[in-house]
Amino acid sequence: MTNKRWTISLIVLFFLFLYVLFHFVAATQEMERTVEKLKQTARAEKTAPHFVLISQEFDNPYWRKVEKGAKAAAKQYRVNVEYIGPLRTNVDEQVKLLEKAIASRVDGIIVQSLNDAKFTPLINKAIARNIPVITIDTDAPKSKRLAYVGTNNFEAGQLLGKAVASRVSGSNKIGVIIGSETSENQQLRLQGFQSIIAQHPSLSVVALSVSNISRFQASIQAEKMLLTHPDITVMVGTSALDAIGILMATKNLDRDDIKIFGFDDVEETLDAIQQGKIVATVIQKPYDMGFSAVKLMVEHLEDKSIANEYFTATEIVDATNVEQEGTK
């Protein structure tokens, strides 16, 4: 009897031991798998391609949206995107950042090309060193860049022209503020805008100034313009902070009769549209630009062929659709 009990106890103990051993082995294997996975992630992060995105102005709200899109794509495609740009718009600083990116042999450069003559040779130098370059927001069409991602700027200028022509009545003199004299996107927007205004004899552009993409400069220039041409009744701005600057000027001069049209969907512009202080704005898709540029760069590294130009959407926002736009 005692022997039988011993035998049963031993068998129970044996199975208990087997059970514990089984769990121990299973837990050890699970741990090894987790460690291996972590190592793989660390290895992947270490070797993940490193792209640099060079903006016109680091903290500009428009460029922050481009950055957001690029970072979202970086997460999705497991690459690293380093977002850089001058504190205040400055072509020479932007050129230096591009030179630095080339010297550090990054895996891809996404750059706004502010000035064709300065950027084209550098973009070609990067390509010669096997560093792929995609232009964003503003193209360098004569360079060997792989692709351009951004607005069709001539058409966007036309959209602005149509927005004005369809929303004002009678004879109107127009003052225009552009972001930059040298950048291709601003020139194309201006040409597109003028091509539409030329079709309307009751409308004429009587003054043109440059804001250097600063709302304060836009305001100063708009004020000067309105003082020199008091008969101006419509003012348009073709870069993201111009309309807000123009609005500051009309407030200073007590000219709330001026009809203001702008570009982009920065918060203050949308608020002013809601309050009836800005008539309409042409919005671009900076988030999509950032996202698509990174996606295309990844596809290029995977040896897929990518289009030469990739146009993102534009749209008119006015009092009729500003609420939906604000919640996007």
Q: Which residue from 132, 161, 175, 179 is in contact with ligand BGC, where contact means CB under 6 A? A: 179
The reply on whether position 235 binds ligand BGC by CB under 6 A is no
Site map 51..90 versus ligand BGC, x via CB under 6 A? -----x---x-x----------------------------
Q: Of the two residues 20 and 117, which places its CB atom closer to ligand BGC in the complex?
A: 117
- Compute CA distances 81 → 47, 67, 171, 236, 275, whole Å: 13, 9, 50, 34, 38
Torsion over CA: 70, 71, 72, 78 (sign): positive
Nearer to ligand BGC, 56 or 158 (CB): 56
The residues, ordered by sequence, that sit 6+ positions from 6 with a Cβ below 8 Å of its Cβ are none
Residue 269: CB atoms within 10 A of its CB come to 28
How many angstroms separate the CA atoms of 159 and 167, rounded? 12
Q: How far is CA 147 from the centre of its chain?
A: 15
119 lies in the site for ligand BGC, by CB under 6 A: no
By beta-carbon proximity to ligand BGC, the closer residue of 137 and 223 is: 137
**Which one of 158, 187, 219, 239 is in contact with ligand BGC (CB under 6 A)?**
239
* 31 close to 43: Cβ distance less than 8 angstroms: no
Q: What does the alpha-carbon distance between residue 129 and residue 140 come to, in Å, rounded to a whole number? A: 18
Shortest approach of ligand BGC to residue 135 CB, angstroms? 11
Residue 241 within binding range of ligand BGC, rule CB under 6 A: yes
Comparing every residue's Cβ against ligand BGC, the nearest one is: 240
Which secondary structure element, helix H or strand E, spans residue 156, and what is its range? helix 153-167
- Decide whether 172 or 183 has the Cβ nearer to ligand BGC: 183
Sign of CA pseudo-dihedral 204, 210, 213, 215: negative
> Does the protein bind ligand BGC through residue 138 (CB under 6 A)?
yes
Q: Does 185 bind ligand BGC (CB under 6 A)?
A: yes
Is residue 33 left, alpha or beta, with left meaning phi > 0 and alpha meaning psi from -120 to 50? alpha
In the bound state with ligand BGC, the residue whose beta carbon lies nearer, of 56 and 187, is 56
Work out how close the CB of 171 gets to ligand BGC at its nearest, in angstroms, rounded to a whole number: 29
Of 270-309, binders to ligand BGC (CB under 6 A) are: none
Which of the ranges 72-80, 119-127, 220-228, 237-245 carries the binding residues for ligand BGC, by CB under 6 A? Answer: 237-245
Q: How far is the CB of 138 from ligand BGC (least distance, A)?
A: 5
Q: Distances from the Cα of 227 to the Cαs of 78, 89, 230, in angstroms?
A: 54, 27, 6
3-state class (DSSP) for residue 164: helix
Q: Tell me how far apart the alpha carbons of residues 303 and 296 are, in angstroms, rounded to a whole number.
A: 11
Kindly state the smallest distance separating residue 304's Cβ from ligand BGC, in Å: 27
Residue 265 is a binding residue for ligand BGC (CB under 6 A): no
Q: How near is the Cβ of 131 to ligand BGC at its closest, in Å?
A: 23
Question: What are the residues binding ligand BGC (CB under 6 A)?
Answer: 56, 60, 62, 137-138, 179, 185, 213, 239-241, 263-264
